[in-house]
Chains A and B, each alone.
Chain A
């Protein structure tokens, strides 16, 4: 069974700081997704990463994929309060699709 592990599970960071969320998975993947979920709300797609070395950026968030290491990262630059949310990665192997456990991010003013 495909396993997708995120760390940390909880992250509290000050505004203006940088941090990285990690997503490790146990088998080869076709694509890797990142999502954001605000408390009590639906999910928002952030990125789809398709190939080794792929990097995508949107505002203060940058996602990258290393298929050889089976690792994706979501890097947060100069965090602001509005980024407080839970971030999920998900892996699609072509015949399996699994979410990570989520990282709950709180940005403190």
Chain B
């Protein structure tokens, strides 16, 4: 069984569209995260979320919003997509905030 899963694996879309990436973890972890890795392989944390607190990296545009329907899911919604949003987005989870994290396989987003 996949511990952290993401869908879709690839997402190609036009500028200006709105899209979502889904993430689910079956580990019973309390904290989930979204990370972005750009074409130069630079990594950035975007959000961390547990059932009590959402922490947002202040550099993330407000076009990006995490939505958590329950403890096992943290979806990423992106409005008005821009070319610079093209990247690989990784979802992850950890048992406790700040612990070892399990990463999803990544979603490669291409904005045309």
Q: Which positions 36-71 of chain A face chain B at CB distance < 8 Å? A: 41-45, 48
The answer to whether A92 touches B103 (Cβ under 8 A) is: no
Among B57, B98, B103, B106, point to the contact of A31 (Cβ < 8 A): B98
Total contacts A-B at CB 8 Å: 37
Shortest Cβ distance from A46 into B: residue: B100
Among A45, A86, A92, point to the contact of B102 (Cβ < 8 A): A45
A43 to B104, CA, bound (A): 8
The answer to whether B42 touches A99 (Cβ under 8 A) is: yes
A86 to B40, CA, bound (A): 13
A31 to B48, CA, bound (A): 16
Shortest Cβ distance from B45 into A: residue: A97
The answer to whether B104 touches A99 (Cβ under 8 A) is: no
A42-B98 contact, Cβ under 8 Å, with A86-B41, A88-B43, A102-B41: no
A45-B98 contact, Cβ under 8 Å, with A86-B41, A97-B57, A101-B42: no
Instruction: Name the distance in Å between A99's Cβ and chain B's nearest Cβ.
Output: 4
Say yes or no for B44: interface residue by CB 8 A criterion: yes
A interface footprint on B78-112 (CB within 8 Å = 1, 0 otherwise): 00000000000010100000111111111000000
Residue pairs across A and B with Cβ atoms less than 8 A apart, 15 shown, are A42-B105, A42-B106, A43-B43, A43-B90, A43-B101, A43-B103, A44-B103, A45-B101, A48-B99, A88-B43, A92-B98, A97-B45, A98-B44, A99-B43, A101-B42
B residues within 8 Å of A by Cβ?
Answer: 35, 41-45, 48, 57, 90, 92, 98-106
